[in-house]
Structure 1
Amino acid sequence: MTTTIAPAATRPPALTLDDRLALTSLAMDDRLNAAGLAVAINTARFDTQVATPPRTTETNPYATPIAALLHRARARILTDGWCRTELYDETGAVCPIRAIRLAAASRSQADDAAFLLLEAIRRHWQADTIPSWNAQQASVAPVLLAFGRAAELARARNL
């Protein structure tokens, strides 16, 4: 048996992806209707705007969860701004504790990260608490440095 192939001029044009998706959708509708499973969905209530996460220019170099959390909290201070005497302000700037809470997946993870941040601060500066130390800083530079040191501590301890 020989197979003949029609010349290119007589062949129908290839279907686009949109055409194939439309045909598949129609075929699925027919199957659902035949099985009595068709359900009407009111799509007018759906929000068609998709929220995209903010882009960060820096990738997270840490593989351990607490070190990665501290890095994300540091990045939040860089992007949102640093707040010295409040948890956050009207511009969206955050203090170190708030940055950690926002970056953490759980309360215990936030507590572990805050503990390491306080340890890093105490190794290099005199401080009783993170908020009291944060309020003494004249710029964001020592805060960012403390986050980096705390992330290194977490990585060294495999946390």
Structure 2
Amino acid sequence: MLTTPTPNRTHQPHTTSTEPDLETRMALTEAAMTVRLETAALAVDVSTAHILTTPIDLEDIVRVPDAIPEAPVDLYPTPVAALLQRAHQRLLTGGWCKDTLVDEDGARCMLGSIRAEARGDSGLESSAVAVLLDAIRRTFGDDVDSVPSFNDAFARGRVPIRMVDQAAHLADARGL
């Protein structure tokens, strides 16, 4: 009689995956990182324990003027030139901004500084803006639409501030 070997049919029990789920892996990773960070912090504390430090006295570093400087006297005898000079000074001391007349820090755009220095005199303000636009167009061409569009075209205030100063010179030369 011929016997054929029977295959070994041992029953293997169905096992579920022992790999932890995502939440468990994240919790384990967080715990491991916490231990590593605490160990590193302790190592820094131990390594730097011998370094003597003295507190910094901020009065040695930060200097505050004793008095607020007075506003400069108008160098120009004409009202429009003097207004533009004051607007230029305001931009230098108070800061320049774009996309708004006055930003949250108090910095002003070209038009905002003229408006502030005109102190409600709309005729004087209008004359100063006209001279400023003329000075801008003399340097940058007739493509410039307005003072605000010129101001907002720059990322930094160096050129706009310089143009206000040039406009003051132009107004003085015109006797305005």
C-alpha displacement of 1:58: 4.0
C-alpha displacement of 1:60: 2.7
Mapped contact 2:80–2:127 kept (Cα < 8 A): yes
Q: Distance in 2 between matches of 1:58 and 1:143?
A: 20
Match of 2:159 among 139, 142, 148: 142
- TM-score, length-scaled by structure 1: 0.62
Task: Mark the runs of 5 or more structure 1 residues left unpaired by the alignment.
Answer: 1-53
Mapped contact 2:76–2:172 kept (Cα < 8 A): yes
- The residue type paired with residue 111 of structure 2 is I
- TM-score, length-scaled by structure 2: 0.57
- The residue type paired with residue 145 of structure 2 is D
| Cα separation, partners in 2 of 1:57 and 1:102, compared to 1, 3 Å | closer
> What's the % identity of the aligned pairs?
41
Q: Which runs of 4+ in 1 moved over 4 A?
A: none
Give the number of aligned pairs: 106
Higher Cα radius of gyration:
2
- The residue type paired with residue 149 of structure 2 is S
Q: Deviations over 1:66-113 (max 9, x none)?
A: 100000001111111111111111100111111101101411000000
Q: CA RMSD in A?
A: 1.5
Match of 1:61 among 75, 92, 95: 75
Q: Distance in 1 between matches of 2:87 and 2:160?
A: 11
Does structure 1 residue 77 correspond to structure 2 residue 94? no
- The residue type paired with residue 157 of structure 1 is R
Task: Mark the runs of 5 or more structure 2 residues left unpaired by the alignment.
Answer: 1-67
